Chain A
């Protein structure tokens, strides 16, 4: 069947099979930030936005994206890079394989929630798995990114010094 999808605001028409997944269309069209990290719909690496909402592109039938807007990391490159600097400042990544999915979900969270609490952050990101780290570096990077971009240094309070903000 034929579908038309806006990928990062660019209209793309393509032919798909009934069981083609969104991730396959995205990779075929060159959006290689989108990767598959598991067989079980669990890891979050394949996260993209469908009409602005984070979804697992490995499990969304491509047919469901017909007429819709999809955003990948390539479409939010500037923000992704800005957040990436916070990650680097914390030495958060080891292999870095999990980062594209995490970044897409962090940016989605930042749009959806203002000044999320620690619990809210951890809940929102629970579906992004990392095999190398213990999440602590990422968490510090996220805190600092939110503190700077959402303009509230009080949020994480308790007189903590925010490190690594560049």
Chain B
């Protein structure tokens, strides 16, 4: 478990940022992941007094504060109506309701964990993270940026009329996923991401070449591209080979969910 010398409830983001410039300072999200490590934290910065735990719907986006518990997103009617339950689908299997009442979206995205369900899902939406100093950064760029000492303030998901679906495969419910996949389609342009390979989620470039209504063979080609271009590895949950097989299965299911069925050649 971590140790914390001082628990610092900050009154402003500037104060948090200043404190966080020291290597011995750590920003505390829900603290669920941090707690399992053994970091010796001199100052734990608590952002919970800054009102950053809300989900706001504007005309063109959902704006989600970094301290928003995963559970709030999971049960948010507006988010789920707009994104066809994908938000719920990518959160509901994470440990348990009690856990998701505490784990935050800020910690989840800042962590850029390999196993992350929401990272995979939000990659296929038009998602931007709002960093205190770094400004607005598209999630697809943020994923590969090095960990720095900035603060993730809010997550913006644009309401662009996208259709989308999420799939994960778990050996046992509530365990970490063996593989995650998400797809979305807008005006016939597709996006697809695969995560937990166990490397962190990445977009598959060739998704943009999918036809508006992909057939089984098109999705097969997309899965092949993922297998050929993304890095897959073994870990205690599954082998790289198994994950490669699952890639085709999950992508197909997700595309099928978006299209409301798929034309099969045979």
Total number of A-B contacts with CB less than 8 angstroms? 82
Q: Which of A52-81 contact B (CB under 8 A)?
A: 53-56, 59-61, 63-64
Contacts A18-B7, A42-B95, A126-B96; is A55 near B1 (CB within 8 Å)?
no
Q: Is A44 an interface position by the 8 A CB rule? A: yes
**How many positions in chain A have a CB within 8 Å of any CB in the partner chain?**
28
Instruction: Pick the contact of A127: B7, B46, B174 (CB < 8 A).
Output: B174
Contact B31 A59 (CB under 8 A): yes
CA distance A127 to B136 in the complex (A): 35
Q: Is A95 an interface position by the 8 A CB rule? A: no
CA distance A105 to B101 in the complex (A): 12
Q: Which of B6, B41, B97, B98 has the most CB of A within 10 A?
A: B98
CA distance A108 to B100 in the complex (A): 14
Chain B: interface size category:
20 to 34
Q: Is A160 an interface position by the 8 A CB rule? A: no
Interface string of B80-102 (1 = CB under 8 A from A): 00000000000011011111011
- Taking the nearest CB of chain B, how far is it from the CB of A4, in angstroms? 14
Contacts A42-B95, A59-B32, A126-B96; is A19 near B3 (CB within 8 Å)?
yes
- Please give, as numbers and ranges, the residues of chain A lying within 8 Å of B2 by CB-CB distance: 19
Q: Is A136 an interface position by the 8 A CB rule? A: no
Interface residues of A (CB under 8 A from B): 1, 17-19, 40-42, 44, 47, 50, 53-56, 59-61, 63-64, 105, 108-109, 123-128
- 18 interchain pairs (CB within 8 A)? A18-B6, A18-B41, A19-B41, A42-B96, A44-B98, A50-B101, A54-B97, A56-B102, A59-B30, A59-B32, A60-B102, A61-B4, A61-B28, A61-B46, A108-B97, A123-B92, A126-B93, A128-B96
